[in-house]
Amino acid sequence: MDKDKLRRKSLDEMIDEHIGKVGTDDRDAFEEELRLDILGQTIKRIREEKHLTQAQLGEMVGVKKAQISKIENNLTDARFETILKVFRALNAKINFNVELG
């Protein structure tokens, strides 16, 4: 393939093309899911850095190991209160940013 015909695309351009432009329902849903996934992965990373098992963290929070697993892998089913308890148990500082659109 001719190098002149190849064009590099930024990640934003690829997301626009395959998911949808900013402000569309599909893009909003994608970004929401991405934020939840990042939050779950952050919880897992902190838990592992503190050398805690899911069962141990669950005991600290007052939930079962399965609930911690769900939070780490898919936050859509987790209660906000439980997520706050998890961060408190991990002694993690929480900051929220709310923007009105």
Condensed to tens digits (0 to 9), the pLDDT of residues 12-68 reads 888 888 888 988 988 888 887 787 788 889 999 999 999 999 999 999 999 999 999
- Considering only residues 94 and 64, tell me which one the structure prediction assigns the higher pLDDT: 64
Model pTM?
0.71
27: tokens are: 């893009």
Whether pLDDT at 6 is above 80: no
Using CA atoms, how far apart are residues 101 and 94, in angstroms rounded to an integer?
23
Domains of the chain: 21-89 (1.10.260.40)
Using CA atoms, how far apart are residues 37 and 45, in angstroms rounded to an integer?
12
